[in-house]
């Protein structure tokens, strides 16, 4: 059955293709098939983030980052504060990531375990350690939450965001924001308007879920506490959910680029819950379609 999404204009499609061409993508260090798919399906130079989950080791993340660097990509490992046992491990992680994989960019996150494995409970503490610039890290991603966090109040998130950006200014780090994934554009656009009104001008890379099954997306949305998106999945699931699967993130992206042409969006970041090959195939289809319309 063909999808029933409104037709996308050629201008919108070109803007979407431009965002995709500069996007980043995320993989697991424990998935060799994902690395192979990156080499086969993604352009050299692309930023590929290496996730740090509860079952990952920082040694495994470094090894994956080194392989991605050798394959011509820009590896961006996660630094998960709560998974690190202390300053010695953080120092070793950064030294090896820089030395073995040429890493100069990381994404700092808190991590989901409680209690923490060591003294770090929040990503701000990693930035305050002073070790990132010491090991050549010049660009640092931090998390943004367009939808309510399941355990942290919005005021606390705003305060932490401002503190990280201010610390970046003080220490010479180029700090940007990667948002949690959403299934609708409204919370993303509203959140960007709100932080801009607060004087925050940092680049924002909008997190989106790549094409995946509705059951997978719903499960992850519930786990991540993305309330608005869970309600979107629940509403008229025979229509909305079908669009989500058949059209993928293009539906959200169309709304994003329609808002002032997407001028306030620094880029896109794709979470590949349905698999890197599926997301890469979808991305390549969009950019190839736009390229076929370009004048020779």
pLDDT in tens, 46-90: 999 999 988 899 999 999 999 999 999 999 999 999 999 999 999
Q: Which range marks the domain in which residue 83 is found?
A: 10-288
Residue 128 three-state SS: helix
**Residue 4 forms part of a structural domain:** no
**Residue 152 forms part of a structural domain:** yes
pLDDT on residue 132: 98
Identify the band that residue 274 occupies on the pLDDT scale cut at 50, 70 and 90.
low
pLDDT on residue 1: 34
Q: What is the CATH number of the domain that holds 136?
A: 3.20.20.220
**Residue 2 forms part of a structural domain:** no
> Which residue is it, tokens 């379609």?
289
Percentage of the chain with pLDDT > 70? 81
Q: Specify the range with the lowest mean pLDDT, choosing from 9-13, 47-51, 92-96, 273-277.
A: 9-13
Residue 112 contacts residue 85 (beta carbons within 8 Å): no
Mean pLDDT of the chain: 85
pLDDT on residue 258: 81
**Residue 92 forms part of a structural domain:** yes
Nearest to 81 by CA among 160, 8, 199: 160
Percentage of the chain with pLDDT > 90? 58
Is pLDDT above 50 for 294? no
Angle (CA) 186-266-174 rounded to 5° is: 125
**What does the chain come to in residues?**
296
Task: List CB contacts of 40: < 8 A, sequence separation 6 or more.
Answer: none
pLDDT on residue 182: 83
Residue 121 three-state SS: coil
As a whole number of angstroms, the distance between CA 14 and CA 81 comes to 38
pLDDT on residue 264: 83
**pTM as predicted:** 0.88
pLDDT, one tens digit per residue, over 211-246 is 877 666 666 665 555 555 555 555 545 444 554 454
Task: List CB contacts of 127: < 8 A, sequence separation 6 or more.
Answer: 108, 140, 164, 167, 168, 171, 173
SS3 content of the chain, % helix, strand, coil (to 5): 50, 15, 35
pLDDT on residue 3: 41
Q: What tokens were used for 175?
A: 């700090």
As a whole number of angstroms, the distance between CA 253 and CA 250 comes to 5
> Which residue is it, tokens 């794709």?
270
Q: Would you give the DSSP letter of residue 260?
A: G
As a whole number of angstroms, the distance between CA 99 and CA 103 comes to 8
**Residue 3 forms part of a structural domain:** no
Residue 123 contacts residue 110 (beta carbons within 8 Å): yes
**Residue 121 forms part of a structural domain:** yes
pLDDT on residue 254: 86
Residue 62 contacts residue 96 (beta carbons within 8 Å): yes
pLDDT, one tens digit per residue, over 164-205 is 999 999 999 999 999 998 888 888 999 999 999 999 999 999
Higher model confidence: residue 214 or residue 37?
Answer: 37
Secondary element (H or E) of residue 223: helix 214-224
pLDDT on residue 54: 85
pLDDT on residue 287: 85
**Residue 137 forms part of a structural domain:** yes
Q: Specify the range with the lowest mean pLDDT, choosing from 24-28, 35-39, 148-152, 230-234.
A: 230-234
What is each CA distance from 194 to 48, 141, 158, in whole angstroms? 29, 19, 10
Number of domains in the chain: 1
> Which residue is it, tokens 């959140």?
191
Residue 84 contacts residue 73 (beta carbons within 8 Å): no
**Residue 122 forms part of a structural domain:** yes
Identify the band that residue 2 occupies on the pLDDT scale cut at 50, 70 and 90.
very low
């Amino acid at each position: 059955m063909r999808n029933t999404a409104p037709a996308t204009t050629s201008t919108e499609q070109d803007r979407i293709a431009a965002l995709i061409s500069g996007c980043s993508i995320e993989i697991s260090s424990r998935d060799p098939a994902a690395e192979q798919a990156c080499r086969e399906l993604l352009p050299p130079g692309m930023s590929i983030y290496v996730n740090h989950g509860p079952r990952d080791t920082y040694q495994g993340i470094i090894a994956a980052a080194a392989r991605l660097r050798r394959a011509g990509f820009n590896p961006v490992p996660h630094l998960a504060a709560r998974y690190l046992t202390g300053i010695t491990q953080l120092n070793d992680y950064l030294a090896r990531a820089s030395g073995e994989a040429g890493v100069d960019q990381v994404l700092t996150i808190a991590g989901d375990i409680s209690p923490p494995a060591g003294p770090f409970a929040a990503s701000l503490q990693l930035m305050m350690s002073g070790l990132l610039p010491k090991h050549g890290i010049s660009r640092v991603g931090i998390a943004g939450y367009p939808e309510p966090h399941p355990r942290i109040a919005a005021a606390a998130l705003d305060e932490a965001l401002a503190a990280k950006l201010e610390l970046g200014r003080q220490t010479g780090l180029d700090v940007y924001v990667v948002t949690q994934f959403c299934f609708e554009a409204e919370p993303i656009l509203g959140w960007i308007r709100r932080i801009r009104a607060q004087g925050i001008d940092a680049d924002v890379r909008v997190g989106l879920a790549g094409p995946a099954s509705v059951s997978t997306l719903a499960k992850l949305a519930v786990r991540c506490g993305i309330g608005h998106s869970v309600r979107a999945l629940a509403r008229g699931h025979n229509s909305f959910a079908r669009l989500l699967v058949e059209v993928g993130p293009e539906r959200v992206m169309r709304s994003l680029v329609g808002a002032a042409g997407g001028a306030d969006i620094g880029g896109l970041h794709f979470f590949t819950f349905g698999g890197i090959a599926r997301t890469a195939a979808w991305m390549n289809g969009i950019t190839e379609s736009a390229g076929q319309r370009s004048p020779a």
